[in-house]
Structure 1
């Protein structure tokens, strides 16, 4: 039976009086109401001076919450990392990703482990690459008690267009963008963010080709949120190293369009003298290799190849050299940054400057790029 608001208030008071302090999410679950409804109850009672509201918790007046007790017990010589870890006990973090496949499996895993290590809980929402679903998932997570958000929005180009960022700004909770960015001047550019420096990864791949003696190279990129950054790194490295880009201009293709990619690469090798290619991502590279071989282009003898993402590159028939984003670390850094923001908000301290963090991928060398030096 649903409690009247006055009955609910009395039940809240009784539970908080009995236990001294409770997490808002736990109290909402016990009373069978949404976290949003309970927050309103707590705000009303706090306004009357009948309870105290702390970050994510409600405390009996004059009492001490578990969070406060832990903070008091931490010696003054302990660093602020210890204080932040104590304040994260019981915190609920919402995370929204477009999919749990591909790179996001490890990103989610890294975030979950970082939150759990500080006593919190990660709750996941999946948008299915539908941009309007991001806001729906956020509303659901916040109503369920999430106090901050880690978000990889379903922005098809990796950046917001046409006001896609507005729902993020309207939520009013600490938010960290994950593997996404907003351009300077966009309001969402002021949000914290953690992402892979994909331009750097592409440049490392180009540099490896150059070190092996390749002068005419190209790239086959899949349309999506990372294509622009990979292309920018590729083109910058080609220019810096003085390679012959005119004979191997990159191809940006639609998802699943393998035949045009094969035609492009066969023509690049036979007609333009291209000897090396960067392919994004590695699942696509695995599909392309046997199709190229069926057309008489051998990897790596005729075409050295480096894949991007390294999800399954090492399992290919010809193990693929690959650019490997630091996926788990991206999730870990993003979660720790968000926990820090929540701790700052809870303590009332001046927030530290917002951060745009880029982690560098590494190149994992395998068979597909070959090792012989080509004539210049």
Structure 2
């Protein structure tokens, strides 16, 4: 299966980060693409501030020293993310914009979804001068939090969790965090589909990321809220990492549609949804004629042959609000008023768990007459 630009960007960033500096020709050889493609990718990543480009080479951005003009008095924050592309690109942009407005500098480190390396990455940010951290751990499954997460609660600087919920009773439960309410997003999708006359929609979702697991949990909650029975086991069809598993998922969904047991499906994520729709078309299943589809993420859903209705988590707002919250915590610490200590007899500032509501962007894949944006409080039919 052909590699997407998002996947290629992640591989390029990993190579540059590991080597520090690499020539375009070397990257083209390592990635198995043409130098023209690499130059185009580098231009995109340079505009996003993720790499530095000069004279045929690409470098990982280096933190400025305290003596650099205008930097000595500005706070420096670190952001640890599992990826700099696809979903997390907007989260990073939102955090960067908020930090820049406040005159702060943001340093980025990428974990590539390797939770065992998160701590070392965070220590690298601290060594580079970070006075506060925004952290989206590279957890992939349920066990990663317990195995690779406790260190976050021991950090010597203020920290805010990004797009990550934690288990009740976890040492991280008392940390500030900002995330999307994925259960609400799933409910919006199912309510819209059932409002159009469909029976309980099927769920197609992988199980290798916190968002995917949250979508799976939200699916069961939404079914209960709507008084529906689960119509079919969740279908796992990861197009990028398991082609055989993807094909099994396609066949399972094809059987459910052609037997009349399913007329609607929610698919996480956009890329899987687009490839799923393409494969179903080869098997004679039409979207939306035979199957109404809602994608989850809304990164590239609108670019499908039949534009996909999609749940859109507020990714940029998550990054912005998390950075603003970190700025507030940092400000208290430098004024001698840490958030966990009373100031002059005043109550300590309460920690915050902010859950932002996704939106539903309605497009052609559900048979909608015209595009519209659905949110809480609006009619869902």
TM-score normalised by structure 1 residue count: 0.73
1:99-110 correspondence to structure 2 within 5 Å: 99-110=83-94
Structure 2 match to 1:234? 219
Instruction: Indicate whether 1:26 and 2:23 are aligned.
Output: no
Q: Could you tell me how far 1:342 is from its partner in structure 2?
A: 0.4
Aligned residues of 2:163 and 2:179 also touching (Cα < 8 A): yes
Give me the whole-angstrom Cα distance separating, in 1, the residues matched to 2:142 and 2:365.
Answer: 29
Are residues 159 and 338 of structure 1, via their aligned partners in 2, closer, same or farther at CA, if it must alter by over 3 Å? Answer: farther
Asked if 1:127 corresponds to 2:111, the answer is yes
User: Which residue number in structure 2 is paired with residue 190 of structure 1?
Assistant: 174
TM-superposition CA deviations, 1:278-323 (whole Å, max 9, x none): 0000111111112101111110000000000000000000000000
Instruction: Please tell me whether Structure 1 or Structure 2 has the larger radius of gyration of its CA atoms.
Output: 1
Q: Report the equivalent of 1:44.
A: none
| TM-score (structure 2 length as normaliser) | 0.72
Secondary structure at 2:265's aligned position in 1? strand
Which of residues 114, 122, 133 is equivalent to 1:138?
122
State yes or no: 1:151 paired with 2:135.
yes
Count of aligned positions = 291
Cα shift at 1:181:
1.9
Say which of 183, 195, 207 aligns to 1:211: 195
How much does 1:158 deviate?
6.3
Matched with 1:280 is: 268
SS of 1:188's partner is coil
Per the TM alignment, residue 137 of structure 1 is displaced from its structure 2 partner at its CA by: 1.3
Question: 2:331 is matched with which residue?
Answer: 343
Output aligned runs, 1:19-168, within 5 Å: 26=66, 90-157=74-141, 160-168=144-152
> Which residue does the alignment assign to 1:311?
299
Deviations 1:214-269 (A, max 9, x none): 11320100122122221222222222223342x33322345443212211111111
- Candidates 351, 354, 358, aligned match of 2:351: 354
The question of whether the paired residues in 2 share the 8 Å contact of 1:212 and 1:371 is answered with no
Q: Do the aligned partners of residues 275 and 365 (structure 1) sit closer, same or farther apart at CA in structure 2, a change above 3 Å counting?
A: same
Describe the SS at the equivalent of 2:98.
helix
Segments of structure 1 that go 5 or more residues without pairing to the other structure are: 1-23, 31-55, 58-88
Match 1:220 to one of 197, 204, 221: 204
Shift of 1:195: 0.6
State the distance in 1 between where 2:224 and 2:236 align. Answer: 19
2:53 aligns with none
Runs of 4+ in 1 over 3 A off after TM superposition: 158-163, 252-257
